[in-house]
Amino acid sequence: MLANYFKVAYRNASRHKLFAFINVFGLALSLSFCLLVIMIIVDQTSFDRFHPRPDDVYRVLTNAHRKDGGIENYASSPFPLGEVLAAESPAVGKIVHVVRGLSGEANLGSNRVAVNGFFTGPSFFEVFGFTLGKGTAREALVRPHSVVITQETAGKLFGENEAIGKTVTLRGYGDFVVTGVLAKPPGKSHLEFDMLGSLSSLPVLEREGSTGSVLTNWNNYYSNYSYVQLKAGHDPGELEPLLASTQERFYGQLELESRDKGYTFELEPLTEISPGRILSQNVGRALPQLVLTILSGLALIGMIAALFNYTNLTLARALARAKEIGLRKVVGAGRQQLFIQFVSESVFTALAALLLAVAFLQTVLVPGFQTMQIAESADITLEVQPIIGILFLGFTIIIGLVAGILPASVMSGFRPAAILKDVSRVRVFSGLTLRKTLLVLQFTMALVLFIVLTVMQRQVTHALTMEYGFQWQNTMTVRLQGQDAVRAAQVFSQQQNVKSVAAMSHHPLTWEDGSGDVRVKKSDEATGVRHYDVDANFVDLFGLDFVAGGNFHKDLPRSNERLVLVNERFVERFNLGSPLDAVGRSLIVGDSMEVRIAGVLKDFYYKPATYELEPLLLRFTPANWNVLAVRLGDGDRSETRRFFEESWKKLDPFHPFEGRMYGDIIEEVYDTFGDMISIVGSLALLAFGISLLGLLGIVTFQVESRAREIGIRKILGAGLRNLVVLLARRELTLLSISTILAVPLGLFISSEFLTSFAHRIDLGVSVLLPGILLIYFCAGVTIAVQTVRAVGANPADTLKSE
């Protein structure tokens, strides 16, 4: 029976090729976006599924309750808290501590490799599904100064040589013995690393000052990640009373930060870490659940537009199939059989669209998506797997069923002669028939997306071109990678195209910065302030202006770290009077370091446009200079870069030269917004294209169904203009209704997007016109072409059978 229904569907599609094309192509475009999202979701939900008992493992989180009423959630927790849970709860089977901080450079003779990793203990291999290709898991992380490395790191350090038993030097941590080489993990994990150092190394490193205090420090809730594996048959709820009581018992030892009033702790299932909540100090590159939800919602919008299209065109052609329905009922077909037939046709159309969607997905969407920053940062690999094929097929059948239910219900439930009449009277809003409503909703969605897209593009352009008061143009930055800043600056300054060189700790106008507590007097409550560590050339190179005081002295000794520069906002926040009054005032930085204000800078924007202007401290701390800023002239930049690269090889033969233009760095800050623009733009074009296809189908059907009327009107003297207005008036009225609905909705969504920016554009007519004009122009052309074609037909041809 189903085979027969599919055969009828194929014949109908063959007889009405334009309508079949519109339905199949529209569904295919929307399906391809939905299939892409399905692939992303399958990839992102595959994290941490290869561990032995993932459903019994939980991560301990810290919730920092701020004095202003806010709560900041951390993926980390104090190390001693995990020890208390393991010692006092009968529900805890094993505890794993993963301590961040093992990062830097691994040296083996002249071979130097940048590495990132964690400190952990032997229980790591008991709870997680990582295995060793070489070495013994039970013993590999027992002794101090032992390290387990990945296969990739082993290849970089040792090549084809044996790694086990060899000693590598980790800069800042000393010598470590390689006791294991990890096998390639069978799946993705939120824990990504190049090496694992033994947890027993930490007591030694803490005594030497190589790391901060972690093992007994309740105040350090940001360096350690504790994972609890419950015993079989136990519930995580059993730990809640202990977590609450632990908080109360140890608050006496917990020295609150200046902005906090208290801390609470909770458990997070391992299977919900990726994708999961947005947490501070999180590890791993998976997308947050919120991003997946947004992507799914956007894909659903495109799918709804295609479903509207299919429903609209199918209902519009109901009269053309009246005789078929009548004949089937005469020979005994019941309503249920007709319903199944029309739904089967819808499923057939969806399956045909699936073939086209997969081709579009593989040739356009997947390659395009993999070039986005979001794909790289979230480690998204879009691989075709059997489960994906099953999901594709199941999702397509569901879409076919959903698309066909309404038309099938209408067309199978009425007498053939009354089908179109009854359909035209189905009301959704007063004065609008179902078909008109669907067309209005399609263009409303398309116009809303165009308004949002225009706002996003203009806001990001504004963020890149706004006046920051910070002259970064014609500047290249060079990462020092451990080299002395003064020596490197002297070498680079020899190039004739170099105007000036400055040293700094971070890149202003990016997410990077330092922060620390500041007090005017020891008795004052500390306030967190962002800071950069810079040299005396920083102010002049970036064109900053003083409103009072002056710069660091050019010959200031490197050991003199007692002078600082502040901005005007700093003076206001700490009530230091006028900028002139602030010069020479003393401050307490950190716990006890006393510094003196040498100068007050005119306010400039040193963070991305998403941030408000805040107090800033510029410190003279040579030990923290990690980057050189090099101001270039108008000379040949390729020649300048060649000089830098050759000079760098002499300075540091072990590390590659890392130099980038400042403009590229700033653009990278907004890459995430660029990805959003690409996604919303693609979706806007999708919704718009589908809407135009639907409009083409509706207008074509209207022209065909009114061909005799047009012929009679021409005979009676109607001119071209009258006929064009007659046929186009309804569709243009519907577009006007779409505009009235879309403008407030688009402005509302745009204003919500703009709340992410502290410095934002104004919403006015200029952000509305591009989308409105584009849609009206394309819709007008579509309507005009079909209408003029119908008006140009010879009445004798259309009326010859009357």
Name the average pLDDT for the chain. 83
The region that residue 519 occupies, defined by phi over 0 for left and psi between -120 and 50 for alpha, beta otherwise, is: beta
* Pairs from 156-161 (Cβ < 8 Å, separation ≥ 24): 156/111, 156/113, 157/106, 157/108, 157/111, 157/113, 158/108
When mean pLDDT is compared over 47-56, 459-468, 525-534, the highest value belongs to: 47-56
The rounded distance, in Å, linking the Cα atoms of 69 and 63 is: 12
| Band of residue 410 on the pLDDT scale cut at 50, 70, 90 | low
Residue 712 pLDDT: 78
The rounded distance, in Å, linking the Cα atoms of 324 and 337 is: 13
Beta strands (DSSP E) in 461-510 are 475-479, 498-504
The rounded distance, in Å, linking the Cα atoms of 544 and 504 is: 15
Q: Where are the alpha helices (DSSP H) in 470-624?
A: 485-492, 538-541, 568-573, 579-582
DSSP state of 184: P
Q: Are 510 and 665 in contact (CB under 8 A)?
A: yes
**Percentage of the residues of the chain whose pLDDT score is greater than 90:** 30
Q: Is the pLDDT confidence value at 501 over 90?
A: yes
Q: Are 307 and 365 in contact (CB under 8 A)?
A: no
| Band of residue 13 on the pLDDT scale cut at 50, 70, 90 | low
The rounded distance, in Å, linking the Cα atoms of 82 and 94 is: 10
Paired tokens of 353: 């669209």
Residue 430 pLDDT: 42
Q: Which of 537-546, 551-560, 767-776 has the lowest mean pLDDT?
A: 551-560
Residue 429 pLDDT: 40
Residue 200 pLDDT: 93
Question: Is the peptide bond prior to 275 cis by the omega test (within 30 degrees of 0)?
Answer: yes
Collect all residues with Cβ–Cβ distance below 8 Å to 215 and sequence separation of at least 6.
Answer: 79, 80, 202, 203, 206
* 245-272 pLDDT, tens digit each: 876 777 555 555 556 677 889 999 999 9
Q: Is the pLDDT confidence value at 732 over 90?
A: no
Q: Other CB atoms closer than 10 Å to residue 383's CB: what's the count?
A: 9
Run of H or E residues at 496: none
Which one has a higher pLDDT value, 415 or 676? Answer: 676
Q: Is the pLDDT confidence value at 672 over 50?
A: yes
Residue 226 pLDDT: 96
DSSP state of 280: B
Helix, coil or strand: residue 632? strand
Q: Is the pLDDT confidence value at 10 over 70?
A: no
| Band of residue 568 on the pLDDT scale cut at 50, 70, 90 | very high
The rounded distance, in Å, linking the Cα atoms of 173 and 207 is: 12
| Band of residue 603 on the pLDDT scale cut at 50, 70, 90 | very high
Q: Other CB atoms closer than 10 Å to residue 406's CB: what's the count?
A: 20
pLDDT mean over 682-705: 74
The rounded distance, in Å, linking the Cα atoms of 200 and 144 is: 5
DSSP one-letter string for 38-104: HHHHHHHTTTT-SSSSGGGEEEEEEEEEETTS-EEEES---HHHHHHHHHH-TTEEEEEEEEEEEEE
**Percentage of the residues of the chain whose pLDDT score is greater than 70:** 87
Q: Is the pLDDT confidence value at 589 over 80?
A: yes
The rounded distance, in Å, linking the Cα atoms of 300 and 494 is: 59
The rounded distance, in Å, linking the Cα atoms of 214 and 220 is: 6
> Would you report the helix, strand and coil content of the chain in percent, each value rounded to 5?
50, 20, 30
Residue 8 pLDDT: 62
* Total residue count of the chain as it appears in this document: 802
Q: Are strands 659-661 and 616-619 parallel, antiparallel or unpaired?
A: unpaired
